[in-house]
Structure 1
Amino acid sequence: MICLFQARGPKKHLKRLNAPKAWMLDKLGGVYAPRPSTGPHKLRESLPLVIFLRNRLKYALTNCEVKKIVKQRLVKVDGKIRTDPNYPAGFMVGNQRLPIGACKRERECPSREPIERGVLFGTEYSGEIITDGSENMDYGAVQAVERVGVAACTSAEERYKGRLNSEAQHDVITIEKTAEYFRLIYDVKGRFTIHRISSEEAKYKLCKVKRVQTGPKGIPFLVTHDGRTIRYPDPVIRVNDTVQLDIATSKIMDSIKFESGNLCMITGGRNLGRVGTVVNRERHPGSFDIVHIKDSQGHTFATR
């Protein structure tokens, strides 16, 4: 008896009903939705360029028109021209890609600091804190513990003179022909929304530090959330810190520590999009740390 198994291969389509709710696609708009290509972001945490240009900016009516726009090399994501209409642009949580040889060294000399899954720190928020102010947002410290991430900001005395904002950790989308710059952010209901920025803000982004290791020949390096490998970083930078990165040169301009008293934005789970101040960080060795956050309405909740 011979058993034959057919190779399935990668999935190339996405049903509209199974598309992320953050895309805000209407249910009766068709059977299928554009499936994001492989890239620096997960499917559930990204927005394809075709939806960005067609559904949000209304620069095109059909997918065919979007292809004509991107094939003219008019759209840039993080300073690089993208001609794929399904290229995933989105939030800072990305698939981690290690440099060549790092996986073997990771097994031999694992990092002493555990990588906390989904916890993102280092974004500053300037302006009014976004919250809906509803009573059901005030969860208890035990009941509100969720599998979500946190994007922490600098404290009041570390505002960098207004250079950073809460959208800095998102991808920068540039359309030079119209001189427009955008960041993709979440609202308090966990939906993608478009935020226009100036040309000066579009020159940098914030990256969460996922790994800090020593490579071959004793060269120290760090790996960010979007797969960037930066050699010879500042020795004070640790895992879960955030670095301000110049997009053009890929050099570290500044760093933000993972500390209490900083402003933060929830990046996943039930409280996605909420902004508040980090009150306390409970450390649990061998498990996830619990972070207690207080928003502008005085509501306190916990997340990890």
Structure 2
Amino acid sequence: MAKMGSRKHLKRFKSPEHWPIHPKEFTWTVKPSPGPHSIEGSLPLLVIVRDILQIADNAREARIIINNGEILVDGRIRKDYKFPVGFMDVIQLPKSGKAYRVLPDERGRLMLHPIEEGNTEFKLCRIEDKVTIKGGKTQLNLHDGRNYLTDDEYKTGDVLILNVPDQEIKDTIKFEDGTIGIITGGKHIGEIGTVKEINVTRSSMPNTVLIETDGTTFQTLQEYIFVLGKDKPVISLPGGE
């Protein structure tokens, strides 16, 4: 039995640090299914329903709520209680009218930021890389596992504003000097700042970005910057940014 359970579950003390669960409350927690986000960058839907939203007292109740189609992720009903929910995903609870966007807090833990109804119709996706495929089209590989085919020009680091659930591109936030971004890794994770300078290296070293936030300037890796808007963020943020 223990061997079977180890494939489906994770011991709580071995669960990722960004999971908002206490390691001593229970022995086991659910392991995310393979999906759009890695285990290191996601929360299983059951953990969100039971531990974060606390609309279920136990795993059984959480599974019933999820299986009944009461939870939407990016505009689609998700009935897999192990479905991985990650950064920038939009969660909706139609019965209560509540909605949330997944963001990192200042400790790097994933949190659910409440959003208004008008904010549930789109999500932000960063272009991680792009490749040219047969026929000359460009395939954009996005941070949440999506692949998008286009004839238009985009560059790595740009952020697409996608309508959900149809995934049509509504607009683009270019990764360039002067944009506002959230830091998704490193010791400044969760902070909001302005891109002052993008430093492209001509070696195997990663590109870096100079960020200014609250009068402080520091350097971080380009891969840690997720731009949110040109003059101001296009989404609401914790603390009223």
Contact 2:86 2:144 in 1 (8 A): no
Q: Which position in structure 2 is the counterpart of 1:270?
A: 187
Residue 220 (structure 1) aligned with residue 138 (structure 2): yes
Match of 1:195 in 2: 113
Rounded to whole Å, the distance in 1 between the matches of 2:161 and 2:15 is 32
Q: Aligned in 2, Cα 1:210/1:191: closer, same or farther, shift over 3 Å?
A: closer
List aligned pairs for 1:79-90, cutoff 5 A.
79-90=75-86
Determine which structure has more spread, i.e. the larger CA radius of gyration: 1
The change in CA–CA distance for 1:65 and 1:87 in structure 2 (over 3 A counts) is same
Structure 2 counterpart of 1:81, one-letter code: I
Secondary structure of residue in 2 paired with 1:200: helix
The total of aligned residue pairs comes to 215
Question: Which residue in 1 is equivalent to 2:234?
Answer: none
Aligned residue among 72, 77, 82 for 1:76: 72
**Would you say the 8 A contact 1:208–1:225 is kept in 2?**
yes
Corresponding position of 1:47:
43
Asked if structure 2 preserves the Cα contact closer than 8 Å seen for 1:222 and 1:233, the reply is no
Provide the residue aligned with 1:293 in structure 2. Answer: 211
Counterpart position of 1:230: 148
Opposite residue 172 of structure 2, the aligned amino acid is S
Tell me the distance in 1 between the aligned counterparts of 2:150 and 2:18. Answer: 38
Query: Aligned partners of 1:175, 1:233: CA distance in 2, in Å?
Result: 36
Question: Are the aligned partners of 1:206 and 1:244 in contact in 2 as well (CA < 8 Å)?
Answer: yes
1:64 is displaced (CA, Å) by 0.3
- 1:204-261: CA deviation from partner (whole Å, max 9, x where unpaired): 11111133333222333323222323233422x1122111111132111111111112
For residue 11 of structure 1, report the CA deviation from its aligned partner. 4.0
Q: Which runs of 5+ in 1 are unaligned?
A: 1-9, 92-169
The Cα of 1:41 is off from its aligned counterpart by 0.7
Cα distance 1:225–1:233, how it changes in 2: closer, same or farther (>3 A)? farther
Deviations 1:93-150 (A, max 9, x none): xxxxxxxxxxxxxxxxxxxxxxxxxxxxxxxxxxxxxxxxxxxxxxxxxxxxxxxxxx
Q: Work out whether residues 244 and 253 of structure 1, in 8 Å CA contact, stay in contact via their aligned partners in 2.
A: yes
In the alignment, what sits opposite 1:254? 171
What percent of counterpart residues are identical?
Answer: 34
Counterpart CA distance in 1 for 2:165 and 2:91 is 14
Counterpart for residue 281 of structure 1 = 198
Partner of 2:58: 62
Shift of 1:33: 2.0
**Bigger share in strand:** 2
Task: Supply the AA of the counterpart residue of 1:289.
Answer: N
1:155 is aligned to none
Give me the CA root mean square deviation: 1.7
TM-score by length of 2: 0.83
Q: 1:281 to 1:271 in 2, by over 3 A?
A: same
Q: 1:252 to 1:233 in 2, by over 3 A?
A: farther
- Relative contact order (alpha carbons < 8 A, sep ≥ 6): 1 or 2 greater? 1
- In structure 2, how many angstroms separate the alpha carbons of the residues matched to 1:24 and 1:196? 17
Structure 1 residue 21 corresponds to structure 2 residue 29: no
Query: 2:92, 2:148 → 1: CA distance?
Result: 24
**Alignment partners' CA distance in 1, 2:83 and 2:103:** 17
Q: 1:180 to 1:233 in 2, by over 3 A?
A: farther
- State the match for 1:141 in structure 2: none
Q: Is the 8 A contact 1:220 1:232 kept in 2?
A: yes
